[in-house]
Chains A and B, each alone.
Chain A
Amino acid sequence: MKSKNVPGMNVDIGGIELKNPVMTASGTFGYGEEYNPYIDINRLGAFIVKGLSREPRSGSPPPRIIETAAGMLNAVGLQNIGVDAFIKEKLPYLSGFDVAVITNIFGETIDDYIRVAERLNGVPGIAGLEVNISCPNVKKGGIAFGDDPETAYEVTRKVKNVTDLPIIVKLTPNVTDITRIARVVEEAGADAVSLINTLKGMAVNVETMKPYLNNITGGLSGPAIKPVALRMVWEVTREVSIPVIGIGGIMNAHDALEFLIVGATAIQIGTANFINPRATMDVLEGIQHYMVENGISDIHDLIGTLTVE
């Protein structure tokens, strides 16, 4: 339904053509069936699938989530059906939609990442890979791949070498200098970066003196992290030339616009989906409305327009 009044929303993320910059964040939208009753998936810019590993993963024992001030902690433990079951059981359903399907992948070793990337290469219906480098590297004592520039470089490079798909590297905020990791993965061949993953946190039940999460620590998401995410996205956009995808506490179009203005080419909606299954649609319509109101005919005239006095 293109008309003269509808502003140009399409963006290019390192070779992945999106009809608009609104994506679902990995792990917050299942495999599509969960939210199909609530939204028209065809209207999304991209659908990022729940993180896939080589083998299925059971995930962590409960409790897995706890609400915190303006957000939530989760320790789901990367539960997923594994790459093979995804291709066989879930991808056919997602392929039925007119939406770019991006598969998020992760591993415990670099070899795991390579295997998953190889498995997905050439599979019809996949537009790109998002490489989650926030998980612990078992061969390096559990230090996250994305916490160490050398490992971040190596995993990016090796995944890039085994895939023809554009790769987006998803960065962890739990680092001293996220721009350094961003530069390194760009150098290693990343076609785009997405940030931020959740911030590591914890919460304690003072009645029982136990942590609320079985895993003790978990990932903080929601509006509580948005200012941190926005700052990091702004910093990274000034340091790299590849597209940056903004993630972190985006609840509405206003939040999404902030990310676009500081330089994000696209944005992902995560935790907001849990509160409002229509959050992606509301954000999309809100961005369009803002553009029409402000006479912006193309989204590129909005991206990176931050004015600093």
Chain B
Amino acid sequence: MTNTIKESKKSIVTARIVDHYEVARNHFLMSLKVPSYFQAAVPGQFVMMRVKGREDPFLPRPFSINFLNSHNTGTIMGILYKVIGKGTTIFSRLKKDDELSVMGPLGNGFNMPPDRKKIALVAGGVGVAPLSFLAEYLKRQTNASAQGIEEIVCFLGASTSQLLLDRGRLADACSKLMISTDDGSDGYHGTVTELFQNHIDSYTDNDSIVFCCGPDPMMTGVAGIVKKYSIPCQVSMEERMACGVGACLGCAVRVKSHGDRPRYMTVCKDGPVFDSKDIIWKQA
């Protein structure tokens, strides 16, 4: 007996850019027209993208989904990204109507346990990208099903006020938006990890959950805080990727293991969202 394949196979789709602009210095928001099945994507999932017809950069690049909107003209997916290296530099030069090859949605997104009433979103820099999607998603769910969510507080940090991304969207979706900047140009003067630490008394292990995405030191810091207070926390991890589906094992992240042998999971297939307790943090 062979594994007969009746369902249609997934494929890489061609997505046209409908809008693309620099939202803040070196940070871009790209809107792409995608097939309607992308609407099933959950916050925290990602896509692998390549410029169509270009051999260089060689590998596709992973981006988390920043929003999905459905209009009568189709489904629009937003990608919020920071220009870091060669790949993102080339992406940043793309114009409206240029085309990308998009594979996805991929990976496991954030998972909202039904017993949590208080939600903290902790976002650092461009790490806000999946969290604004999550905030709007949770708000919609709360409205629709009268789920027991009492509050969603977002702690949003950046190096400077101009780089506080998705501020408006978060202010709309969350009960409260707390701001921090490293240079003190807006909100709390310091890191978002410190800001979150200052409000940790609002959260308890039996009714709260934290969703976190940002640079490594920030996530390490948040993971350390929630561990101390036993508050559940989900983090969205990042690593260099090639395949995006768990085949190449390139995007390894070290997780706790029972034996002596180190244990790695893939960000693409096992993540990108992990329980912060499972990760072996570099300075934890």
Please give the residue numbers on chain A whose beta carbons come within 8 Å of chain B beta carbons, in ascending order: 27-30, 34-42, 56, 58-72, 74, 76, 79, 93, 96-98, 222-223, 271, 273-278
A39 proximity list for chain B (CB < 8 A) = 9
Complex CA gap A64/B57 in Å reads 18
Please report the C-alpha to C-alpha distance between residue A92 and residue B241 in the assembled complex, in whole angstroms.
28
Cβ of B144 within 8 Å of any chain A Cβ, yes or no, is: no
Partner of A64, one of B3, B86, B249: B249
B interface list, Cβ under 8 A from A: 1-3, 5, 9-12, 50, 55-60, 86-87, 103, 239-254, 261-264, 269
Interface of A is mostly: loop
Interface Cβ pair total, 8 Å cutoff: 123
User: A62 contacts B252, CB within 8 Å?
Assistant: yes
Question: Is the CB–CB distance between B59 and A275 below 8 Å?
Answer: yes
Please determine whether B249 and A59 come into contact, CB atoms closer than 8 angstroms: yes
Tell me which residues across on chain B come within 8 A of A68, comparing CB atoms. Answer: 58
Q: Pick the contact of B12 from A62, A76, A276 — CB < 8 Å?
A: A276
Contacts A70-B56, A278-B11; is A58 near B247 (CB within 8 Å)? no
Q: Given A61-B254, A65-B240, A65-B242, A76–B3 Cβ distance below 8 Å?
A: no
Q: A58-B262, A65-B240, A277-B245 are in contact. List 5 more A-B contacts (CB 8 A).
A: A30-B247, A41-B3, A64-B252, A72-B58, A275-B50
| Complex interface: chain A residues within 8 A of B11 (CB) | 38, 278
Which residue from A30, A40, A64, A275 sits with its C-beta under 8 Å from B5? A40
Choose among B10, B56, B87, B261 the residue that contacts A37 (Cβ–Cβ < 8 A): B10
Residues of the B chain whose Cβ atoms lie less than 8 Å from the Cβ of A36: 3, 5
B2's partner among A61, A72, A98 (CB-CB below 8 A) is A98
Q: Which of B11, B244, B245, B263: most chain A Cβ within 10 A? A: B245
A28-B247, A39-B9 as given contacts; A72 in contact with B56, CB under 8 Å:
no
Known: A42-B3, A275-B50, A275-B59. A59 touches B246 (CB 8 A): no
> Whole-angstrom distance between the alpha carbons of A148 and B247 in the complex?
31
